Amino acid sequence: MNMLTLFQPRHKVANLVIKDHVIRYVETKANDPLSVHKWGERQLPKGMIHDGKIMDRETLEMILEECVDEWKLKKRRVRFIVPDPFVIIRRLPLPADLEEEEIRGYLFMELGTTIPLPFDTPVFDYVVLEKTQEATTVLLFAAPEDLVLSYARLLEDAKLRPIAADVSPLCAYRLFYIADQVKKDDHILLVQFDQSSVNVSAFHQHKPVFMRHLLLEQYGEINIGKDRQRFIDPFEDIYKEMERMMSFYSFSIHQGKQQITRVFLMGDHPHLSHVYQALQERLDVPVERLAAAMAGAVDARYHLAWGLGLKEGNDDVR
């Protein structure tokens, strides 16, 4: 089964997010994905997972088994998120004469050869963006097969049944979409500011345009004191990188004709409110967090797992 091909199960499904520092799960009510029914969290020791790569599988499996027992998830179907550092999102022009049913086979043959990727054997999914006389343009999502399968097998060994994988920007964006905070013609910069990393992606017409992943530890230790400047300094390079991405979006992708119109901020960083304030002061476009009416359903730490559970019935957000 292509792990990035999602389908709609009818039974209860747990939505699992495994990051460098934490395991989280969310379960929504069967017929009401806006109602968060159950949730759980388990902190991970430093170094067990590093930038998405499992470093100590034996201990991680043991911890995951304890979570499965504690959260009563044994033999439960689960969705999971492919770690951000390994996900490729790319807009591709394909031959114009390709029929819809031929696209997957074409990509299967050409990925890694005429369409270069930074890994050998990918799992992938795609969305057709437009079809013209010149080309059929698709949005490609790809990840290394061995990495995706290593997470799927980890879940299976912990007595879970993985049925679908997703990518985090789609899960995050889905929340803002459901909250009715975004219009189709918006140009959105989505910033996921987490405890161990920052993931930045751009969206237009409810589709991701590009994604950039930054490992937070490269930017120094966080030290908040009475002097607020002591907090902002470690993230100065992150803010500059975001501004560079906004310029890239405007001038490299849209030749200066379009620009980012709004910034959405979410994540589990303990000082996210400080980041929010700093970005508001620094950027010339509105910076927004998830609407309070939506956000209050469950603590912000669980929002990404909740977004994973909102996949069903939201075909506009692929």
The reported pLDDT for the residue numbered 61 is 97
The reported pLDDT for the residue numbered 24 is 97
| Count of Cβ atoms closer than 10 Å to residue 48 Cβ | 15
CATH number of the domain at 182-218+234-289, please? 3.30.420.40
The reported pLDDT for the residue numbered 173 is 97
pLDDT tens-digit map of 87-140 = 999 999 999 999 999 999 999 999 988 999 999 899 999 999 989 999 999 999
CATH number of the domain at 85-144, please? 3.30.1490
Task: Report strand pairing: 207-215 vs 197-204.
Answer: antiparallel
Query: Looking at residues 154-178, what average pLDDT do you find?
Result: 96
Q: Where are the beta strands (DSSP E) in the chain?
A: 13-18, 22-29, 32-43, 49-50, 53-54, 77-82, 88-95, 122-131, 135-144, 161-167, 187-193, 197-204, 207-215, 262-266, 287-288
| pLDDT for residue 6 is more than 70 | no
Q: Which two tokens stand for residue 242?
A: 């975001």
| pLDDT for residue 224 is more than 60 | no
266 or 113: whose pLDDT is higher? 266
- What is the spatial order of strands in the sheet that 135-144 belongs to? 88-95, 135-144, 122-131
The reported pLDDT for the residue numbered 10 is 52
Give whichever of 246-250, 256-260, 261-265 has the largest mean pLDDT.
261-265
Residue 11: pLDDT band (50, 70, 90) is: low
* Average pLDDT of the residues of the chain: 89
234 three-state secondary structure: helix
φ and ψ at residue 64, rounded to 5 degrees: -65, -40
The reported pLDDT for the residue numbered 4 is 44
The reported pLDDT for the residue numbered 239 is 92
Residue 232: pLDDT band (50, 70, 90) is: very low
35 or 167: whose pLDDT is higher? 167
Output b/e per residue, 93-128; b: 16+ Cβ within 10 A.
ebeeebeeeebeebbeeebeeebebeeeebbbbbee
Place of tokens 């057709």: 128
106 three-state secondary structure: helix
d(CA 91, CA 249): 13
For the chain, which residues make up each domain, given as ranges? Answer: 85-144, 182-218+234-289
pLDDT tens-digit map of 195-208 = 989 999 999 999 99
| pLDDT for residue 309 is more than 70 | yes
d(CA 55, CA 68): 21
C-alpha to C-alpha distances, 179 to 16, 27, 67, 106, 257, nearest whole angstrom: 22, 19, 30, 37, 28
Q: Model pTM?
A: 0.89
Q: Which residues, in sequence order, are bridge partners of residue 207?
A: 204
Please choose, from the candidates 77, 81, 11, the residue with its C-alpha nearest in 3D space to the C-alpha of residue 305.
81
Q: What is the dihedral of CA 6, 49, 53, 18, to 10 degrees?
A: 10
Q: Which two tokens stand for residue 188?
A: 């959105």
Residue 5: pLDDT band (50, 70, 90) is: very low
**Proportion of the chain above pLDDT 90, given as a percent:** 71
| pLDDT for residue 3 is more than 50 | no
Torsion sign (Cα): 290, 296, 297, 299: positive
Residue 35: pLDDT band (50, 70, 90) is: confident
Give the DSSP H/E element, type plus range, for residue 196.
none
Query: Looking at residues 42-49, what average pLDDT do you find?
Result: 95
Residue 219: pLDDT band (50, 70, 90) is: low
Q: Are 230 and 224 in contact (CB under 8 A)?
A: yes
